[in-house]
A and B are shown apart, each in its own frame.
Chain A
Amino acid sequence: MIDFRSLMQPHRIVMMLVFAGIVVWCAFSLQWGWIPKYTPLALQGIWTSIWLLVVTVVLGFLLAVPLGLAQAIGPWYLAAPAKVFCTIIRGTPLLLQLWLLYYGLGSLFPQFPWIRSSELWPYLRQAWPYAVLALTLSYAGYEGEVMRGAFKGVAKGQLEAAKSFGMPRLTMFRRIWLPQAIRNVLPTLGGETILQMKATPLVATITVVDIYAVSSRVRSDTFIIYEPLLLLAVFYILIAGLIALAFHWLEVQVLGTGKRAG
């Protein structure tokens, strides 16, 4: 992927040396003494961030498939609600959705005694179910729109061929329509997953302790501003790189070629 020879141009070597110099300067002249104390918390935060990302992407995508399908071929009474849902999700800030769910539902639920006495109550009192719900709905909203285009983009002849062989509709969907649609949107999905990763730190505003919340805590405990933020940025860049690599690998597996999306 990265051509080694292209890195060996003179100006790039100079830039890399400058960069290495900056890293060394950071390592020696900034304060890193807080790291050992916060490592366990940071590891937990990293775990929470990644867990949230994976769970919401998977659930969101599962929700996006019916949303896209409803908009692509559904009758109007399914297509219209799906379209309204996608428009609302895409038209309002995620932070607002998150706060609406957490503060709104969170203040509504305790008014009903049967919810308080139900098995779910211990979970509903925590913040993470609301975080998962908001992030899932958000991903589903954006992906529903993407999947609509993908379902429409599958060549008609393929579906007609399947039909002419007498393939049942569900099999046709499972074997031909869905795989082709997913194939077409894999590059888009990679980009959207990185966007979702960039949305996860918002959950810190509803008291979920992800890696962003840990860095905020370091900042407010020690009054060290830049060091935790720099580390945090590096962490997110690494995760974004990993997601890009993973989707690249997936594209190679699925498409057979490493077609890079711009």
Chain B
Amino acid sequence: MTGLLDSLGLAQSAELLSLSPPGWGGNLLRGLSHSLQIAFGAYALGLVIGLFGAYGKLYGGKVTRDLLAIYTTVIRAVPELVLILILYYVGSDIINKISSSMGGGRVEINGVAAGIWVLGIVQGAYATEILRGAIQAVPPGQIEAAKSFGMPAFMTMRRVTIPAMMSFAVPGLANLWLIATKDTALLAVVGFNELTLETRQAASSTRAYFTFFLAAGFLYLMVTLCSGVIFTRIEKWARRGQPSLTGGRT
């Protein structure tokens, strides 16, 4: 192994990337785990916001609908970087106001929690649109049938709407998950030590920019490719029982 690395001239890179302290591999993996935590949290928060948002947009009153339209339009028109800064400052201001009104001092905000809050709100806007489209694609007769049997609204959502819309929503949601993982990199700009920032710190202190940025790129790519495999499975599962789109008779 070492002989092979030596012959390729990669021994130095391997040393830099090793997991034990002289190498920075451990830092990169810690950054990756932070990135994934933030991405999972933000994605989950985004899905919850998106589900409520989609229901609000479809069945809500006039004011709810207009407010949600403003939310999704504004979030999707402003760069994530700007939103992250605004939401970050707003969030920390609110928390500090609450803490000082309760007699506490300044609160140190946990980076992961702040990242989840900031990215979750951004993801929520996209999820709202995806889920709204998916719910609209469900044949209305199915939902009406549930209603006509006297099924309560929440049970209709759980038993009919969500399973029926899954196959329409999964491709969009898969895309959204990839956006979530990549958007965590933006948090580097506000100083959260996720993968991209850890990489930059490692790179600038060892001057081995290519080694570390390529290694981080490889990690991100692995996350993307693995997610792709998983989402293909989920899509297959969500489509079970439906005629396939490509293989069927035309």
Contact = CB atoms under 8 A, between A and B. Distances in A.
A201 B189 CA distance: 11
5 contacts: A103-B209, A104-B210, A232-B82, A240-B76, A262-B133
Q: Which of B79, B189, B196, B210 has the most chain A CB atoms inside 10 A of its CB?
A: B79
Contacts of A201: 79, 81-82
Contacts of A233: 74, 78, 82-83, 86
B214 A100 contact: yes
Nearest to A229: B86
Given A100-B210, A229-B86, A93 B63 contact: no
Contacts of B81: 201-202, 212
B85 A229 contact: yes
A200 interface: yes
Main secondary structure of the interface of B (DSSP, over half): helix
Interface residues of B, number: 41
Contact of B78 (A198, A199, A225): A198
Interface string B78-103: 11111101100100000000000000
Given A96-B217, A233-B86, A11 B66 contact: yes
Contact of A236 (B79, B85, B178, B199): B79
A10 to B, nearest CB: 9
Contacts of B83: 233
Interface string B157-182: 00000000000000000000010001
A230 B87 CA distance: 11
Contacts of A95: 185-186, 188-189, 196
A96 B213 contact: yes
Contacts of A241: 77
Nearest to B219: A92
A226 B85 CA distance: 9
Nearest to A225: B89
A163 interface: no
A119 B81 CA distance: 35
Interface in A144-163: none
A99 B79 contact: no
B188 to A, nearest CB: 6
A-B pairs with lowest CB-CB distance, top 6: A93-B185, A91-B224, A240-B77, A100-B213, A198-B79, A104-B209
B204 interface: yes
Interface in A203-262: 205, 212, 225-226, 229-230, 232-233, 236-237, 240-241, 262
Interface of A: 9, 11-12, 15, 87-88, 90-97, 99-100, 103-104, 107-108, 194, 197-202, 205, 212, 225-226, 229-230, 232-233, 236-237, 240-241, 262
Nearest to A88: B221
B43 interface: no
A100 B217 contact: yes
Contacts of B77: 194, 236-237, 240-241
Contact of B199 (A15, A88, A96): A96
A107 B207 CA distance: 8
A236 B209 CA distance: 32
B195 to A, nearest CB: 8
Interface string B58-86: 00001100110000001011111111011
B203 interface: yes
B86 A108 contact: no
Contacts of A200: 79
A91 B219 CA distance: 10
Contacts of A236: 77-79, 82
Contacts of A94: 182, 185
A194 B75 CA distance: 12
Given A15-B67, A88-B221, A94-B182, 8 more contacts: A11-B63, A90-B224, A93-B182, A93-B184, A100-B214, A225-B89, A229-B86, A240-B76
A233 B89 CA distance: 14
B27 to A, nearest CB: 15
A198 B84 CA distance: 12
A15 B210 contact: no
A12 B224 contact: no
A17 to B, nearest CB: 13
B57 interface: no
A200 B78 CA distance: 11
Contact of A92 (B184, B188, B207, B220): B220
Contacts of A205: 189
B225 interface: yes
A9 B63 CA distance: 11
A104 B213 contact: yes
A96 B220 contact: yes
Contacts of B220: 91-93, 96
